[in-house]
Amino acid sequence: MTRLVLPRLYVILDASLLKQSEKKCAEKLLAAGVRLLQYRDKRASARELLEKSRGISDAVRPHGALFLVNDRPDVAHLVGASGVHVGQHDLSVEQARAVIGAEKLVGVSTHNLEQFTAAASTSADYIAVGPVFETRTKANPDPVVGAELVRRARALTDKPIVAIGGVTLERAAEIIAAGADSVAVISDILLAPDPAERAAKYIALLERMPQGNHAPQSKSTNDSDVWLS
């Protein structure tokens, strides 16, 4: 079994923060080298979410990048996305897996060690931990967990860990050093004067960091190894 290796930078396209269309933003980020995107839109109707997600999926495919839909495995399946990301109040990992299929990615959010331990025992391909720092992208965020929870979680699984919540360019290296495989970034990229330029700075920084011994399990992807399309 080979380990799943996620790109170090995981950009979440939160519809509430986008200054341009989701597809145009995705295209610019992809051109800058981003290879892992998630689309999150809590307000869109099912039809709107489907249409917007299809546009992003079409933009991602030529780049061999990964694209996940937040919350909705049915939409992810219909648009040919790489997978789905679910939270603690969404469908369970196994329920989402039943919808999207065994060969697609399922990621799950956790906010404490108990949730992380439970997630590690599921078929989740990666586990998100956060918020690691104070975040304003959610109306009622969970308590800040800091880098320490990332360190403690790292010892519990060899699945990829994605750190999320308040991540900035200045803090990204610290989180990777704590044991995260990827950093999920929202506002520090989407609200930057030039999101693509900001993303490129993350990529340049994170690619210089040593891989370490927590590179993850089962499916693998890079620019030349395209799976899931």
CATH at residue 48: 3.20.20.70
Which residues sit opposite 108 in a β-bridge? 86, 127
* 228 in any annotated domain: no
* 219 in any annotated domain: no
pTM (2 decimals)?
Answer: 0.90
Structure tokens at 194: 């030039």
| Structure confidence by residue, pLDDT tens digits, 44-88 | 999 999 999 999 999 999 999 999 999 999 999 999 999 999 999
Structure tokens at 91: 């469908």
* 120 in any annotated domain: yes
* 60 in any annotated domain: yes
* Range of the structural domain that residue 87 is part of: 9-207
Give all strands (DSSP E) within 64-169, no chain letters.
66-70, 83-86, 105-110, 126-129, 161-164
| Structure confidence by residue, pLDDT tens digits, 170-209 | 999 999 999 999 999 999 999 999 999 999 999 999 999 8
Q: Report the catalytic residues.
A: 40, 109, 138
Burial grade of 105 (CB within 10 A; 0-12, 13-18, 19 or more): buried
Q: What totals of helices (H) and strands (E) does the chain contain, helices first?
A: 9, 8
Q: Please give the pLDDT value at position 116.
A: 98
Which residues sit opposite 164 in a β-bridge? 184
* 166 in any annotated domain: yes
* 146 in any annotated domain: yes
How many structural domains comprise the chain?
1
pLDDT at 221 over 60: no
Alpha-carbon torsion (121, 86, 203, 165), positive or negative: negative
Structure tokens at 4: 């799943």
